[in-house]
């Protein structure tokens, strides 16, 4: 794995052309598979798609997805190349590696002008995606802006997947009900705002979580918001958010998408947000006011935000722009840096505009009403 990471770092730095990059990854991955692939496990159910050549695999993979049922993909190098993108549209489809925990790779071709994989919006249910790697190949696709995965529907599970190097926007977008999202790695999403304007990306963007359970995921080095939930009754527990090498606006955000903003029966607990110096403006953000003060985008009920840990951000916990909910028992420490949202104030915990919510004591009074006519200066202390 160290060999693969070194090759990818070289590619990011512009040292390895696409064809040479694929050949080197192919050689190293084949050696890796020789010594790690379990014996006697299943074979691919898509034999016309070859993960060990340089030919685009969209057509045979799409044919397998169109048939539905069990779709098994073999690990290989450079992986299955996507030049058009895939659509999952059949109820009950199971897409995963043929070799269990040895993950199969799907990698975006430089010409891919689409999401890598999207679930159709026709109400797909009872599907599973697991034990795969989706590599957005961001640095070889400078002219595009697409997500790696777009998941929607009912009664689905998404687990043990690596979503890497998405271009911008978001690495994984979710809208659905009764789903499980767990044990995934979402890493290296987008580019920081000061590096490439409008190329930043969330890690996991949940537009609606209706009775969903999101737990034990690792989200590292996003460049917008690592994990944002826009509404619904959701359980978000035990996730780890880290900002190591890239700056992001916020870690975990209890927010509002599509004029929702109701998290009444949601619980956000036992999540950890941590940041290196000046790599994260806000650790945990409960509310919408840094982005909008419109009533349509208010967080009317934040649910229960309890027993989380945030450390190392410029401001570790911000409550601003909620009407109801509970924010208690959270632990914040080690606030650091001056790279905040339009201000250089650093402290562990600030609050303002929380109406009827129950929030824990110890907050510093500061508001974030960006763009509001009666609060022309965002991120300012209140008296």
Q: For residue 23, is pLDDT > 80?
A: no
Q: For residue 6, is the peptide bond before it cis, meaning its omega torsion is within 30 degrees of 0?
A: no
Residue 161's Cβ-side half-sphere holds a number of Cα atoms within 13 Å equal to 23
Q: Which two tokens stand for residue 3?
A: 């060999």
Give the H/E segment covering residue 130. Answer: strand 128-130
Share of the chain above pLDDT 70, in %: 85
Chain segment 298-330, per-residue pLDDT in tens: 899 999 999 999 999 999 999 999 999 999 999
With vertex at residue 49, the alpha carbon angle to CA 103 and CA 155, rounded to the nearest 5 degrees, is: 55
| Model pLDDT, residue 374 | 42
Chain segment 138-161, per-residue pLDDT in tens: 999 987 899 999 999 999 999 999
With vertex at residue 297, the alpha carbon angle to CA 296 and CA 301, rounded to the nearest 5 degrees, is: 100
Give the pTM: 0.87
Q: For residue 381, is pLDDT > 60?
A: yes
Q: Residue 61 carries which DSSP code? A: H
Q: For residue 334, is pLDDT > 60?
A: yes
For tokens 């549209």, name the residue: 89
Helix, strand, coil fractions of the chain, as percent rounded to 5? 10, 40, 50
Domain residue limits, the chain: 1-167, 170-383
Q: What backbone phi and psi angles, to 5 degrees, belong to 62?
A: -65, -35
Q: Look at residues 76, 74, 73 and name the one whose alpha carbon lies nearest to residue 29.
A: 76
Share of the chain above pLDDT 90, in %: 74
**DSSP 3-state of 139:** helix
Q: In the chain, how long is the greatest CA-to-CA distance?
A: 69
Q: For residue 42, is pLDDT > 90?
A: no
Q: Name the pairing type of β-strands 117-119 and 80-82.
A: unpaired
Q: What backbone phi and psi angles, to 5 degrees, belong to 144?
A: -115, 165
The neighbouring-strand residues paired with 228 are 205, 253
Banded pLDDT at 367 (limits 50, 70, 90): confident
Q: What does the chain come to in residues?
A: 383
Chain segment 272-288, per-residue pLDDT in tens: 999 999 999 999 999 98
User: Is 275:242 a contact under the CB 8 Å cutoff?
Assistant: yes
């Amino acid at each position: 794995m160290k060999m693969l990471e070194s090759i990818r770092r070289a590619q990011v730095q512009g040292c390895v052309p696409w064809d040479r990059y694929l050949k080197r990854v192919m050689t190293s991955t084949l050696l890796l598979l020789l010594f790690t692939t379990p014996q006697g496990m299943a074979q691919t159910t898509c034999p016309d798609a070859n993960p060990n050549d340089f030919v685009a695999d969209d057509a045979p993979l799409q044919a397998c997805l169109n048939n539905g049922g069990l779709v098994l993909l073999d690990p290989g190098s450079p992986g299955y190349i996507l030049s058009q993108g895939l659509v999952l549209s059949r109820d009950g489809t199971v897409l995963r590696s043929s070799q269990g925990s040895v993950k199969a790779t799907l990698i975006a071709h430089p010409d891919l002008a689409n999401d890598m994989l999207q679930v159709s919006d026709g109400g797909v249910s009872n599907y599973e995606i697991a034990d795969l790697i989706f590599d957005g190949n961001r640095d070889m696709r400078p002219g595009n802006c697409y997500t790696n995965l777009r998941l929607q529907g009912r009664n689905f599970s998404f687990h043990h997947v690596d979503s890497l190097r998405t271009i911008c926007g978001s690495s994984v977008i979710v809208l659905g009900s009764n789903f499980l999202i767990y044990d995934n790695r979402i890493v290296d999403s987008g580019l920081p705002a000061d590096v490439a304007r409008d190329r930043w990306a969330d890690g996991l963007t949940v537009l609606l979580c209706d009775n969903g359970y999101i737990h034990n995921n690792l989200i590292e080095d996003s460049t917008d918001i690592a994990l944002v939930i826009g509404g619904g009754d959701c359980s978000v527990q035990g996730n780890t958010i880290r900002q190591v090498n890239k700056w992001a606006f916020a870690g975990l955000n209890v927010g509002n998408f599509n004029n929702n903003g109701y998290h009444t029966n949601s619980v956000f607990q036992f999540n950890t947000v941590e940041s290196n110096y000046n790599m994260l403006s806000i650790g945990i953000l409960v509310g919408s006011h840094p982005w909008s003060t419109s009533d349509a985008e208010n967080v009317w009920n934040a649910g229960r935000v309890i027993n989380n840990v945030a450390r190392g951000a410029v401001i570790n916990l911000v409550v601003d722009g909620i009407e109801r909910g509970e924010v208690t028992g959270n632990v914040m420490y080690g606030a650091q840096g001056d790279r905040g949202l339009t201000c250089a104030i650093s402290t562990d915990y600030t609050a303002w505009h929380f109406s009827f919510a129950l929030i824990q004591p110890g907050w510093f009074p500061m508001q974030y009403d960006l763009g509001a006519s009666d609060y022309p200066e965002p991120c300012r202390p209140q008296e």
